[in-house]
């Protein structure tokens, strides 16, 4: 589909990488980008978001390139989207809708598809009016009564009922996950979740670590469905490792809410491995974005180790860094080269042993023995 990309610079420092990221999202959704239009504004225009002059410029670009769609790298209000479509005479898709579309394209599991459908319906609820614009001429009066409104209300009720059913089905899946987690807790199994910015290499690391065959690709949101594998780690015993959906700048709140059941694997994990793309110039900003989402979902209290991946692209060797307390805080690995995985296993073993010490009262004679066995070199 031939697309014109629009990105507006409001003075934020991460404007360029965010625009590049949006272009990657567009290509991942199957768009053929025929033009990219950049503009600067102090604030969004209330009616058209981009302003009248820029809207006319974009409209000319759409005609010149015979574009079929305009992709806007920002969240638009329903009114702004509707007004832009009238100017361009083509469909307008904002950042939120594009991410939802990619999630719908990539979701494979039954639960993942339910979560995406819920988020799409919640997004659609705010935009139903534009679907019935052909009935506007039949509306009249102060309250705009008429066939258009009654059809709109009917659609809202249908979608509302479907949203309720999806919530109920996802709640059932949530209860099943709780049962599974309680069983793991009773067995003393360590729960580890891989989290990180999208395309940081979580799935590649998951495959290397667990010898699984999860889909991994150099694209945003290659993985949407949480996959868990049980492995044995000498010194830590049984460990359940979970690969989770990647995060991104301005991840739509409705997606975070819809993926609550999946993200609870992160909230209830014993340890988070925060996978970072060491080769990315924006890695510090990406770490910050992931931490924001972790706080939003209530997982900022979970112990976390930063795993700097793709060190082979920088010519670095595997390594471990410790904080001022002697605890491992960073591990440098290359998932694609399978280097540094022994250091990561060692970090998990050390965490497991420290957690075991924390559970033993200091007056217990086992405390000193366990503590001395994990003292860092």
Does residue 200 have a known ligand-binding role? yes
Task: Confirm or deny that 9 is annotated as ligand binding.
Answer: no
> Rounded to whole angstroms, what are the CA distances from 123 to 94, 114, 179, 204?
11, 14, 31, 32
Q: Is 61 annotated as a binding residue?
A: no
The answer to whether 203 is a known ligand-binding residue is yes
Does 287 show up as a binding residue in the annotation? no
Annotated ligand binding at 260? The verdict is no
Q: Is 222 annotated as a binding residue?
A: yes
279 has binding-site annotation: no
225 annotated as ligand-binding: yes
Task: Identify whether the C-beta of residue 204 lies closer than 8 Å to the C-beta of residue 292.
Answer: no
Known binding residue 243? Answer is: yes
Of 77, 62, 187, nearest in space to 123 by CA: 77
Cα(324)–Cα(317) distance, integer angstroms: 22
214 a known binding residue?
A: no
Reported as half-sphere exposure (CB side, CA atoms, 13 A), residue 67 has a value of: 28
Residue 28 labelled as part of a binding site = no
310 is in an annotated binding site: yes
Is 339 known to sit in a ligand binding site? no
Q: Which residue has the tokens 């469905």?
A: 225
Q: Is 223 annotated as a binding residue?
A: yes
Judge whether 316 and 294 are in contact, CB under 8 Å. no
Exposed, middle or buried by CB within 10 Å (0-12, 13-18, 19+), for 173? middle
Tokens 């981009």 correspond to 50
Asked whether residue 73 is marked as a ligand-binding residue, the answer is: no
What is the separation of C-alpha 135 from the centre of its chain, rounded to a whole number of angstroms? 37
14 known ligand binder: no
Quote the CA–CA distance of 217 and 154 in Å, as a whole number: 42
* 30 annotated to a ligand binding site: no
Residue 328 marked in a binding site: no
Q: Which residues are annotated as a binding site for Mg(2+)?
A: 203, 223
Q: Which residues are annotated as a binding site?
A: 196-203, 221-225, 243-246, 309-312
Q: Which residues are annotated as a binding site for GTP?
A: 196-203, 221-225, 243-246, 309-312
């Amino acid at each position: 589909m031939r697309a014109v990309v629009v990105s507006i610079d409001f003075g934020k420092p991460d404007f360029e990488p965010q625009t590049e990221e949006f272009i990657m999202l567009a290509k991942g959704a199957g768009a053929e980008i025929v033009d990219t239009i950049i503009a600067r504004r102090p604030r969004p225009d209330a009616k058209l978001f981009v302003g009248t002059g820029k809207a006319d410029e974009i409209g000319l670009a759409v005609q010149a390139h015979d574009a079929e769609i305009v992709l806007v790298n920002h969240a638009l209000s329903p009114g702004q989207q509707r007004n832009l479509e009238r100017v361009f005479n083509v469909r307008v898709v904002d950042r939120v809708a594009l991410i939802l579309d990619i999630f719908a394209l990539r979701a494979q599991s039954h639960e993942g598809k339910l979560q995406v459908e819920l988020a799409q319906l919640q997004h659609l609820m705010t935009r139903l009016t534009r679907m019935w614009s052909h009935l506007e001429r039949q509306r009249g009066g102060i309250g705009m009564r008429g066939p258009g409104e009654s059809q709109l209300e009917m659609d809202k009720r249908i979608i509302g009922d479907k949203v309720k059913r999806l919530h109920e089905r996802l709640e059932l899946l949530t209860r099943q996950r709780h049962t599974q987690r309680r069983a793991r807790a009773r067995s003393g199994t360590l729960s580890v979740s891989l989290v990180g910015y999208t395309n940081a290499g979580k799935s590649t690391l998951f495959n290397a670590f667990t010898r699984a065959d999860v889909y991994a690709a150099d694209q945003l949101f290659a993985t949407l469905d949480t996959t868990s594998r049980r492995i044995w780690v000498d010194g830590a015993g049984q460990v359940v490792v979970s690969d989770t959906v990647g995060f991104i700048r301005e991840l739509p709140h409705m997606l975070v809410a819809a993926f609550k059941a999946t993200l609870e694997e992160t909230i209830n994990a014993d340890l988070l491995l925060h996978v970072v793309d060491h080769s990315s110039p924006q890695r510090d900003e990406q770490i910050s974005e992931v931490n924001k989402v972790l706080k939003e979902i209530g997982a900022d209290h979970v112990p976390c180790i930063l795993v700097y991946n793709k060190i082979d692209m920088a010519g670095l060797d595997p390594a471990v860094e410790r904080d001022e307390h002697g605890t491992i805080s960073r591990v440098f690995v290359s998932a694609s080269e399978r280097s540094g995985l022994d250091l990561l296993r060692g970090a998990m073993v050390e965490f497991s042993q420290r957690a075991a010490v924390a559970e033993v009262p200091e007056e217990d004679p086992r405390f000193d023995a366990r503590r001395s066995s994990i003292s860092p070199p």
